Amino acid sequence: WHSRWARGQVKRLLAGTVVVGLAVAGIVWAQPPKAQLSVLCSNNVESCLAVAEAFEKQTGITVHTVRLPTSEALGRIRVSADQPEFDVWLGGPAESYVEAAGEDLLSPIGDLPAVKKLPHSLRDANGYWAGVYGGILSFCVNTELVSQVPETWEDLLSSDYEDEILMSSPLLSGTASTMLWVQYSRLGGTEGMVAYMKSLERNLQGYLDSGTAVARNVGRGNAAVGISFAPYCQAERAAGAPVELAYPEDGTGYEVGAVGLLAGSDNVQAGREFVNFAVSPEGQVASTSQVPQSYTTMALSPNLIDELEVLPVPVLGGDVSQAAQVRAQLITVWATEVRNGTY
């Protein structure tokens, strides 16, 4: 588990100033204070912790944060529905929140000021989730390892990229589930998506656990091409990596990362305050200070809506509700027909 208290204890131990009691078994650690709010994080943990710490500083409400990938998080929420473990779910694609709302696992977040200011396409019409970050799917290319930057999805099937491409796993990563949705939309259904992903496997070096890790490895020269969200690649370039960002000319898609209040929470008011803060400009700035992502609020620039309006390639697929209808199915099909049950 992650918390500011734990990091503080470690720092005090290293400084030699931790006060401990003596016991037969050895050192007795002081117990951490009980958090007032429990947050399940499916974004990168650095961003979740940054939001939690900024929220604590502003409100005085203590936050306990646990990180799980989106699919695992949804499974955890399902099995603990009778005795909820968490108050808020932060991060992960909005399609998963649509699934959760359909199973009565979320509570409406209510009429929150920051949420009301979001574009309608970046929040749930029934008030079950709100967008806190976004990203447009792209190619992240190490220009020291390739002579030509790929321009289309079909280019990635060239033998020139054999064992040189990285992507994240749809079982773990919202980046990869967006990738499946793009191929489903581009190729007219499940059959086309499966055929493309099988062909792509010939050139894949492997699957990682996140789009962030994909861009980082391309930046370090461990692969020539990565399929990742644009902000992650742009961050590598800003840090000096020899990478170039490219949007596939045959179309791409985007993710809306969400936040929602979990059903059965005993801390509804504190949870609503946290959701409002996470969506607010202050919360989004805290989050992106750790790992770059596109803003969802129009109060900040550049934001996802502005980026989509000037995108030089077609935007594939429909809105979040349409993608949510097939997301779980596409992941299952990928696991059984492309990977044959292996990871």
Here the CATH number for the domain that contains residue 114 is: 3.40.190.10
pLDDT band at 7 (very low <50, low <70, confident <90, very high): very low
Q: pLDDT value at position 263?
A: 98
Report the percent of the chain where pLDDT is more than 70. Answer: 89
Tell whether 42 is covered by a domain: yes
Domain of 191? 135-254+311-338
Tell whether 237 is covered by a domain: yes
Residues 323 and 179 in one domain: yes
Ramachandran quadrant class, 26 (left: phi over 0; alpha: psi -120 to 50; beta: rest)? left
CA 238/CA 51 separation, integer angstroms:
23
H or E stretch covering 227:
strand 225-229
Tell whether 9 is covered by a domain: no
Tell whether 20 is covered by a domain: no
Q: pLDDT value at position 341?
A: 63
Q: pLDDT value at position 101?
A: 97
Residues 150 and 85 in one domain: no
Contact call for residues 98 and 320 (beta carbons, < 8 A): yes
Q: φ and ψ at 59, to 5 degrees?
A: -110, -20
Q: Tokens 């473990």 correspond to what residue?
A: 85
Q: pLDDT value at position 34?
A: 61
* Lowest pLDDT segment from 56-60, 129-133, 161-165, 320-324: 320-324
Answer whether residue 154 shows pLDDT above 60.
Answer: yes
Contact call for residues 161 and 225 (beta carbons, < 8 A): yes
Residues 189 and 263 in one domain: no
Residues 128 and 156 in one domain: no
pTM of the entire predicted model: 0.86
Mean residue pLDDT of the chain comes to 89
Answer whether residue 3 shows pLDDT above 60.
Answer: no
212-262 pLDDT, tens digit each:
999 999 999 999 999 999 999 999 999 999 999 999 999 999 999 999 999
Mean pLDDT of 11-39: 46
Q: pLDDT value at position 343?
A: 56
- Structural domain total, the chain: 2
Answer whether residue 29 shows pLDDT above 90.
Answer: no
268-280 pLDDT, tens digit each:
999 999 999 999 9
- pLDDT: which is higher, 9 or 55: 55
